Amino acid sequence: MSVVRPFRGLRPKPEFAGEVASPPYDVLSSDEARALVKENPNSFLRVNKSEVDFPPDTPVYSDAVYKKGKENLSRLINDGIMIRDEQSCFYLYRLTWQERSQTGLVALASVDEYDRGLIKKHEHTRPEKVSDRANHIMSLEAQVGPVFVTFKHNRQIKTLVADLTATAPEVDFTSDDGVRHQLWVVDAGGSIAAIGEAFAVLNEMYIADGHHRSQSASEVCRRMREKNPGHTGEEPYNFFLTVIFPDDELRILPYNRVVKDLNGLTPQEVLSRAAGSFSVTPRNEAVIPQENHHIGVYVDGRWHELAVKSGTFDPGDPAESIDSAILTKNFLAPVLGISDIRTDKRIDFVGGIRGVSELTRLVDSSQYRIAYSMYPVTVNQLLQVADAGKVMPPKSTWFEPKLRSGMVVNVLRD
């Protein structure tokens, strides 16, 4: 059973939605966020990444930063830019990009189901980031960044969503990255009940993106439960903000890699050592892999295609058989000496939305010496890893388009 709950969403008035809604806090650096808010005092980045209102040397985890986030949210409310619905609603949020749409249910999910593994995860979290978002939630008394959740699609939910989005949306704008954002408010009692019943038949849901936000919601629940001797399990802190999409509508782009040096080797030595695990074929043009177990490598001004040799990974292990894990095990670690890509400062990652031209640019500019173009992980691979209770290799998935923060906020008080 999957619990989804309607709630009294705090959201921008439709005429302000495009101005308020912002990229997620964790896809921008503080400096990038400062540049975006410079001409937009109503950007939700001022709430979700409020260090933008301080000098660059201000610690981002400071109490002053959290306090400023609450002040900025209060200003949006007091100025009438954001309003809270009078009754509990569900919301349907559609993103359309490059002629393809995905429609998700904005709802509250159960922290208890998350803690019990019924909302499955596939990534480790870092304690300092969990603590940051937990402190942020408690300071604001609100959850402002939705967790991106998916489920194995079924016909009943798809039909229901199609019916509920047959009318004109309340919010409809296109952001500067070309993504169209539409929001429907579901406030009719019959429709709310139908959504709850349709999702109740799901045995599990999956976190696609937002592991730190979901873990921070769990941490907030733990803190609040300890302070509440009359805890019942029905308090607002027992639930967290999500947008829930069917798996067949999601799009994952490649998450490419660049490395700053060749570990003291020449380009030819690097490729020769890689040949033990990969078939290496020179190419006259950029390599954009068209299938699993094929990887492009750009070094010394030339592209090569790597085809993974059998016996270099366990095909029965859903995590080890992902290309990014194969690359680390058979190339990055033994050839370049990079065994932990989470902590090694020599490697960086480039979202697939930037294309392979960004890889050639980075190497040709001498900022990096070698680049790897990857085939995107499939949604089915992600679900298999989560079902097996395993963890995806780091930096394996780049979901696009991104949810905007500030479209709907969950306030944790009446």
Domain spans of the chain? Answer: 4-251+400-411, 255-375
Per-residue exposure over 265-280, b if at least 16 CB sit within 10 Å of its own CB, e if not: bebeebbeebeebbee
Q: Is the pLDDT of residue 229 over 80?
A: yes
Q: What is the CA radius of gyration of the chain?
A: 22
Q: Is the pLDDT of residue 217 over 90?
A: yes
Q: For residue 153, what pLDDT is reported?
A: 94
Q: Under 8 Å CB-to-CB from 399, ≥6 apart: which residues?
A: 148, 208, 209, 250, 251, 252, 253
Tokens of residue 296, six digits: 């492009």
Q: Among the listed ranges 16-30, 143-157, 321-335, 371-385, which one has the minimum average pLDDT value?
A: 16-30
Q: For residue 243, what pLDDT is reported?
A: 98
Q: For residue 39, what pLDDT is reported?
A: 84
As a whole number, mean pLDDT of residues 16-27 equals 92
Q: Are 3 and 109 in contact (CB under 8 A)?
A: yes
| 255-375 classified as CATH 3.30.1890 | no
Secondary structure class of 365 (helix, strand, coil) = coil
Give the predicted TM-score (pTM) of the model. 0.93
Alpha-helix runs per DSSP H in 247-322: 267-274
Q: For residue 413, what pLDDT is reported?
A: 86
Q: For residue 357, what pLDDT is reported?
A: 95
Using 50, 70 and 90 to split pLDDT, how confident is the model at 266? very high
Tokens of residue 51, six digits: 């260090």
Q: For residue 414, what pLDDT is reported?
A: 73
Using CA atoms, how far apart are residues 309 and 326, in angstroms rounded to an integer? 10
Q: For residue 280, what pLDDT is reported?
A: 97
- Reference 12, options 70, 77, 61, 71; nearest CA is 77
As a whole number, mean pLDDT of residues 103-127 equals 95
As a whole number, mean pLDDT of residues 88-100 equals 96
As a whole number, mean pLDDT of residues 211-218 equals 95
As a whole number, mean pLDDT of residues 212-227 equals 96
Q: What percent of the chain has pLDDT over 90?
A: 91
Q: Name the residue type at position 328.
A: T
Q: Are 132 and 213 in contact (CB under 8 A)?
A: no
Reported as a single tens digit per residue, the pLDDT across 293-329 is 999 999 999 999 999 999 999 999 999 999 999 999 9
- Reference 36, options 28, 159, 161; nearest CA is 28
Reported as a single tens digit per residue, the pLDDT across 24-62 is 888 888 888 898 898 898 999 999 999 999 999 999 999
Q: Is the pLDDT of residue 1 over 80?
A: no
Tokens of residue 82, six digits: 């954001």
Q: Beta-carbon neighbour count of residue 306 at 10 Å?
A: 27
What rounded mean pLDDT belongs to the chain?
95
Q: For residue 107, what pLDDT is reported?
A: 98
Q: Is the pLDDT of residue 11 over 80?
A: yes
Q: Is the pLDDT of residue 178 over 90?
A: yes
Reported as a single tens digit per residue, the pLDDT across 126-152 is 899 999 999 999 999 999 999 999 999
